[in-house]
Amino acid sequence: MPYFFFTRRTLGSEGFTHRYSPAVTRYGRINDLDERPRRTQNMKPQEWLRDVLDHADGQDIICFVHGFNTTHTEMLERMRDIENGLRATGGFQGIVIGYSWPSDGETVLALDDPDNKKRLAYNSDKADANKSANHLMPDGLSLFMDALAPNQKLHIIAHSMGARVVTRCFERSTDRWGPTWGISELVFTAADIDSLELEAGGTFAWTVSHRSKRATNYHSGYDDVLDLGKQFVNGGRPRLGRIGSPDLRYEDLNDVDCGPHYRENYRIFADLTQSHRWYFSNQAFFADLAEVIAGQPKGRERRL
């Protein structure tokens, strides 16, 4: 029974669009992801919170923040992949909820984009990510701050441009909910932000360090989507999810190099989107992630 909160505009009970809805954050669930037509039950915030907590039954809660070029349905499927993957490899007993923000971009293929349509769509997603960051904490995560059971933890997994949503949220929000906000593990996968944003001393790096107990960055030098994004829409600035974290970084930011594992198990240059999304169908990734979510000590620099 997937639970989510969202800032996408909707058309009817199932028509989640790529448009941003600035007026209000809404809350929902669906009873069966495989049901057709899929019906969303809209809920009031406190009703939604009680339902999530009841469903979690005292176990940990992971909030998944998706990236660009992701429909609402794809986000729901990714949530299911994460929950099933963690249960299968690490005995995870909690639940995964999602933040569905309006993502309408396309994979960045500038050489196959004579009218700049894909570049414009990507930049549109960046603008929507910046706006959607304003809702993640006050409308979503903050509901859990005083509601978690003893020893129950709240974690975040951010994929691709979802890392932009999270870091902008962290930077803009206050210490109203305490210096760490109660966020335990913060996980970046294929993060589409500038690597240097997490250099120690910077605003984003400081807030990532202080808003969570530990951050882990999974990156791969074979991520072709991030490489094209660096070249054609991000001014040549290397992406965190491709080259990893800066050498000068806070102690509680761990780096996991997934490139060698990808090279050994996948066909290089065979599938552009696969190089960016393979994590969520990979057993080794989920096994490592399960240990991170469980709070086990892990190396600051390691390979998958």
pLDDT band, residue 229 (cuts 50/70/90): confident
More confident residue, 100 or 270: 100
Helix (H, G, I), strand (E, B) or coil at 173: coil
In this prediction, residue 189 carries a pLDDT of: 98
In this prediction, residue 90 carries a pLDDT of: 75
Report the CATH architecture of 42-303. Answer: 3-Layer(aba) Sandwich (3.40)
Q: b/e string for 47-74 if b means 16 or more Cβ within 10 A?
A: ebbebbbebbeeebbbbbbbbbbbbbee
Torsion of CA 65, 67, 73, 78, to 10 degrees: -60
Q: State the pairing for strand pair 301-303/253-257.
A: parallel
Structure tokens at 73: 């349905």
Lowest-confidence region among 68-72, 198-202, 277-281: 68-72
**What are the tens digits of pLDDT across the range 252-271?**
999 999 999 999 999 776 67
Torsion of CA 304, 77, 295, 93, to 10 degrees: -130
Q: Are 246 and 283 contacting, i.e. CB atoms less than 8 angstroms apart?
A: no
CA-nearest of 256, 140, 139, 249 to 191 is 256
Tell me the mean pLDDT in the region 103-115.
55
Kindly provide the residue ranges of all beta strands, DSSP E only, lying in 118-277, ordered along the sequence: 154-159, 183-189, 212-219, 253-257
Cα distance between residue 121 and residue 228, in whole Å: 14
In this prediction, residue 115 carries a pLDDT of: 53
Q: Which DSSP state fits 238? A: P
Quote the Cα angle for 104-120-11, to 5°.
30
**What are the tens digits of pLDDT across the range 115-164?**
555 555 677 778 888 889 999 999 999 999 889 999 999 999 999 999 99
Cα distance between residue 188 and residue 144, in whole Å: 21
Q: Which DSSP state fits 178? A: -
The domain segmentation of the chain, as residue ranges, is 42-303
In this prediction, residue 118 carries a pLDDT of: 56
**What are the tens digits of pLDDT across the range 33-70?**
777 667 788 999 999 999 999 999 999 999 999 998 88
CA-nearest of 27, 24, 29 to 40 is 29
pLDDT band, residue 1 (cuts 50/70/90): confident
Tell me the mean pLDDT in the region 202-213.
91
